[in-house]
Structure 1
């Protein structure tokens, strides 16, 4: 009897594993969730899914350089596509041709290493693009992919938020986001970026920039020239060099710095580990600033030298005046003291 029960359990388990491996979809009014390989290709052809506005697809092994749905499947009202956790390695324009109304696209936790030119061209209504921990390849390859994403015939006038956190990005080409006209919030946290490498006149409408957890040491003094509209900035957990220029920059502007407690100095040594916002107000005075000390010392030396030169010049004038006095000679004697010639 026990043996029969075990056989039944094993058979049921194998059947369940097989079903999961093939994939299945579940529809809940306006939201569909598909899980497993080829799950989307098992949808009933000819059926109208026009009522669905949210589609979640996971562990399906998608290839987004090809059609996302088979022919005859209608998702005409789809506005949210969640394709996270799919081990996606390729994306292209064809993968999104049948999802033209998507406004919110989630592609996080994938392994995208190849991107065809202009993959998001058809997504003219896109408002949010989330690609956290989504890119694979070396630093240059990923920088090239990002440039291809947004070098587009689509002006992205509605795309207000882009998330590219945790992608191990070493660099970003300065004009990467120049084609995203609607961009208001850009997240690039927990990468390996070392500088603010953004072209001027490209991000004039950007309001929030998140750069926490990178390798940035210096905030450029002219940052507000190429990011004129930014009102929120996060540079926490970066190895900041807290020189006086940077200290004045973060204190004097009206920008809101996020995570101030974690925005700490890595140098100079006397303030290492301290929040740049907790430094004393006299930090950049001559008493604390090494540059100020040097300048003060130079002033004292120059002052002493000037006093010495003035003193020496005064002594020289006195000596010169004394030496130039004419001796009293015969012609200078008074008349009554002169010797009159005697006549006989």
Structure 2
């Protein structure tokens, strides 16, 4: 951590946690971890680097990986299949990058990711295809994005979603049709145009109030 490294250093099969935050790494090549004998990693911290390129197979072979932190880099996009073979990955943090969701395109494909944090990127739109590759997602944090366009079925595929944070985004409308039959238990709306429509402005909506709010908004619109 903080060693001015420009590349991933040589590792060993015994290492389980790798903290390479606050360095100058700019790219993750196709065999960057497997070639350096990192086989048992469960957590990788690569925040506060200069990463702008991540090969689709960079994390392949890391079968024990549960957590990846890529926040505070220069990432503009990820190949949808980047984490397809990391069958234990549960948490991906990729805040404060330059990510933009491409219209009508799947963002990521993973059957195991439960928490996705993509706060403070350049996300202005969510389509009905954006999250269909993440069927087991439970926590989705989108704070601090422009996000002023949500497809009518934008969150429909996330039938296990429990916590959704849209704080300080441009969201001005939500409806039941955007979600599966199992609504999130908590939605954070503070600092949004949607929240400002109420007096006092909404902040965090929980449990049964989520369904009531979505029904009320459909009546208003």
Q: TM-score, normalised by structure 1?
A: 0.52
Q: What's the counterpart of residue 73 of structure 2?
A: 110
Q: Structure 1 residues 76, 200: CA separation in 2 closer, same or farther (over 3 Å shift)? A: closer
What aligned pairs does 1:84-163 form with structure 2 within 5 A after superposition?
84-136=47-99, 142-144=100-102, 147-150=105-108, 152=109, 156-163=110-117
Q: Which runs of 5+ in 2 are unaligned?
A: 214-219
Q: Is the 8 A contact 1:34 1:56 kept in 2?
A: no
Structure with a larger share of its residues in helix: 1
Q: Structure 1 residues 34, 93: CA separation in 2 closer, same or farther (over 3 Å shift)? A: farther
Q: Structure 1 residues 77, 243: CA separation in 2 closer, same or farther (over 3 Å shift)? A: closer
The CA RMSD over aligned residues, in Å, is 3.3
The CA distance in 1 between the partners of 2:49 and 2:126, in whole Å, is 25
Q: Is the 8 A contact 2:163 2:186 kept in 1?
A: yes
What aligned pairs does 1:1-344 form with structure 2 within 5 A after superposition?
33=1, 35-41=3-9, 43=10, 49-58=12-21, 59-69=23-33, 71=35, 73-136=36-99, 142-144=100-102, 147-150=105-108, 152=109, 156-197=110-151, 198-199=153-154, 201-220=156-175, 222=176, 226=180, 228-240=182-194, 242=197, 253-255=208-210
Q: TM-score, normalised by structure 2?
A: 0.78
The CA distance in 2 between the partners of 1:176 and 1:201, in whole Å, is 10
Aligned-pair distance for 1:169? 1.2
Deviations 1:257-303 (A, max 9, x none): xxxxxxxxxxxxxxxxxxx9xxxxxxxxxxxxxx9xxxxxxxxxxxx
Q: Structure 1 residues 216, 96: CA separation in 2 closer, same or farther (over 3 Å shift)? A: same
Indicate the SS of the match to 1:162: strand
Q: Which runs of 5+ in 1 are unaligned?
A: 1-32, 137-141, 257-275, 277-290, 292-344
Aligned-pair distance for 1:77? 1.3
The CA distance in 2 between the partners of 1:63 and 1:242, in whole Å, is 44
Indicate the SS of the match to 2:28: coil
Aligned-pair distance for 1:34? 7.1
Q: Is the 8 A contact 1:115 1:148 kept in 2?
A: no
| Bigger relative CO (Cα 8 Å, ≥ 6 apart) | 2
Aligned-pair distance for 1:65? 3.8
Deviations 1:110-132 (A, max 9, x none): 11135445222222211000010
Equivalent pairs counted in the alignment come to 207
Aligned-pair distance for 1:223? 5.2
The CA distance in 2 between the partners of 1:101 and 1:51, in whole Å, is 12
Deviations 1:124-167 (A, max 9, x none): 2110000101225xxxxx212994541x3xxx332110001000
The CA distance in 1 between the partners of 2:17 and 2:192, in whole Å, is 37
The CA distance in 1 between the partners of 2:3 and 2:27, in whole Å, is 15
Aligned-pair distance for 1:39? 4.7
Aligned-pair distance for 1:233? 0.6
Indicate the SS of the match to 1:96: coil
The CA distance in 1 between the partners of 2:207 and 2:70, in whole Å, is 39
